[in-house]
């Protein structure tokens, strides 16, 4: 790994994000200890990691022998003390529960060497509050990967109020060494940048669904075949530039007042959750999923994302020539 001093990594939490992140560090040559509460959860994590590696192999981005070698560098364990011992970088990827994260960071502070940088993959909780649970708040920051982490280039580097310049730059260097595209989030605000943009869209999509304006399928198509396709290359502010800021000002003047201002999860979302329909993980949500169909859909998603990323990287190369 190009980032100096990062060779022994502890990843705490072996869910979808943790397993994918562990695989990235392992492919970068790090020895990784992947921690969760039970052997069964760790077995599931290694299975997910292998599936992610297979997608990269199928795309010609990873040789089979390198995939096998990287998996061999991941050591699953239920022993937090063992995982922290000797680590020089730790990334936490457990559930979005602030009290749980603070409790764990207190433990990390006790078990990890003094020089270890501690990072959280929280999607939007206060990194400052998490860092405050340690005696080294200057060496704590956010490193927010996006799902699926082995495919999505974006990583948000979040500065807590106490994060030192050195730690922030080191976190950025770690992301770059994993071939990611980091952005620096200068202020520790809820949701950071990516999720604030994402949930603004989700809120409006739920509002349109609730009002009967369009079906779930058509709302999704409006995004994937319209602005979503464009945003992968342009982004919202560049899109405004190209569309004309006078035009966007005129549209804003009548449309902003009509957009959803919901302050809580809207009824269509709450109703599904209360019925136990949690999306793909439970077999149904806005759509229905069978085990076979879900696996096929994820493989199609991965192939599409890989092709799109490859195309965008080629365009980036042309721009930089």
| Catalytically active residues, by annotation | 123, 144, 156, 195
Three-class secondary structure assignment of 205-218: HHHHHHCCCCCHHH
* 75/15 Cα distance (integer angstroms): 15
User: Using omega within 30 degrees of 0 as the cis cutoff, is the peptide bond preceding 153 cis?
Assistant: no
Q: Quick check: 129 and 102 in contact, CB under 8 A?
A: yes
CA distances from 52 to 22, 47, 71, 79, 234 (A): 11, 9, 11, 25, 28
Query: What are the φ and ψ backbone dihedral angles of 98, each rounded to 5 degrees?
Result: -60, -45
| Sheet arrangement for strand 181-185 | 74-77, 31-35, 8-12, 89-92, 117-120, 140-145, 154-158, 181-185
CA distances from 49 to 15, 19, 67, 319 (A): 10, 6, 10, 33
* 223/136 Cα distance (integer angstroms): 43
* CB neighbour list of residue 287: distance below 8 Å, 6 or more residues apart: 216
Strands 8-12, 140-145: parallel, antiparallel or unpaired by DSSP? Answer: unpaired
CA dihedral 167, 27, 122, 51 (to 10 degrees): 180
For the beta carbon of residue 179, count every other beta carbon within 10 angstroms: 11
């Amino acid at each position: 790994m190009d980032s100096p001093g990062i060779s022994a990594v502890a990843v705490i939490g072996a869910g979808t994000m943790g397993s994918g992140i562990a695989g990235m560090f392992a492919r970068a040559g790090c020895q990784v200890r992947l921690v969760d509460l039970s052997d069964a959860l760790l077995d599931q994590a290694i299975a997910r990691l292998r599936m992610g590696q297979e997608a990269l192999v199928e795309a010609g981005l990873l040789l089979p022998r390198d995939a096998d070698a990287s998996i061999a560098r991941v050591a699953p364990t239920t022993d937090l003390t063992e995982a922290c011992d000797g680590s020089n970088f730790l990334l936490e990827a457990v559930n979005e529960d602030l009290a749980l994260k603070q409790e764990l960071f207190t433990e990390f502070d006790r078990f990890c060497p003094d020089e270890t940088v501690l990072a959280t993959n929280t999607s939007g909780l206060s990194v400052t509050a998490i860092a405050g649970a340690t005696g080294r708040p200057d060496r704590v920051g956010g490193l927010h990967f996006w799902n699926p982490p082995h495919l999505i280039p974006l990583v948000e580097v979040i500065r807590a109020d106490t994060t030192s310049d050195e730690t922030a730059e080191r976190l950025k260097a770690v992301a770059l060494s994993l071939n990611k595209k980091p952005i620096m989030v200068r202020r520790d605000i809820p949701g950071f940048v990516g999720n604030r943009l994402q949930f603004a869209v989700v809120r409006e999509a739920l509002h349109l669904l609730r009002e009967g304006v369009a079906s779930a399928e058509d709302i999704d198509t409006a995004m994937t075949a319209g602005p979503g396709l464009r945003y992968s290359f342009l982004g919202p502010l560049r899109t405004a530039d190209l569309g004309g800021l006078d035009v966007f000002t005129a549209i804003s003047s009548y449309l902003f007042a009509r957009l959803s201002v919901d302050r809580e999860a809207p009824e269509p979302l709450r109703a599904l959750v209360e019925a136990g329909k949690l999306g793909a993980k439970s077999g149904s949500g806005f759509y229905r999923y069978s085990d076979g169909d879900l696996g096929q859909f994820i493989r199609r998603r991965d192939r599409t994302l890989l092709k799109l990323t490859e195309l965008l990287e080629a365009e980036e190369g042309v721009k930089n020539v």
